[in-house]
Amino acid sequence: MLGGPADCISQPMPMPADWTSVEESNPQLPPSVSRLFWEYQAGAVSWQDHRDFIVERVLARGDWDAIRWVRAHAGDAVVRQIVTRTRGRWLSRAQLRFWQLVLDLPDDEVAAWLGARGREIWDRRSA
């Protein structure tokens, strides 16, 4: 069982037996991830076809199990590329700063994303 954020940041732990192998090109999403896509029919969201979307949703709304699964299957380099490409637009300010630390994103780059015109509209939205 995970104890909190420090466990998520530290070295990957062995995956539980019911999780799909990293080697699979289209692993089945575990319940901790699939439940985040409640608005889609079961099986409509797949890792092979929707990886970036899954990563975005998990980083923004996932629990520690979902985050660990995504990091194990995508790897931090891919997660970093997705956050950089999208400028973390789907993350709150606090979430973006958290992932900045975890993924070792440059402070000046993240500060520029947060200061970008139009970002304040998303930052003022209610959950």
Q: Hey, what amino acid is at 39?
A: E
Mean pLDDT, rounded, for 5-23: 45
Q: Which of the four pLDDT bands, split at 50, 70 and 90, describes residue 27?
A: confident
> Is residue 16's pLDDT more than 50?
no
Q: Hey, what amino acid is at 80?
A: R
Mean pLDDT, rounded, for 77-86: 96
Mean pLDDT, rounded, for 84-112: 95
Q: Taken in order 25, 79, 71, 18, is the CA torsion positive or negative?
A: negative
At residue 95, the pLDDT reads 95
pLDDT in tens, 38-72: 999 888 999 999 999 999 999 999 999 999 999 99
- Tell me the average pLDDT of the chain: 83
DSSP label at residue 36 = G
pTM (predicted TM-score): 0.75
Mean pLDDT, rounded, for 85-89: 94
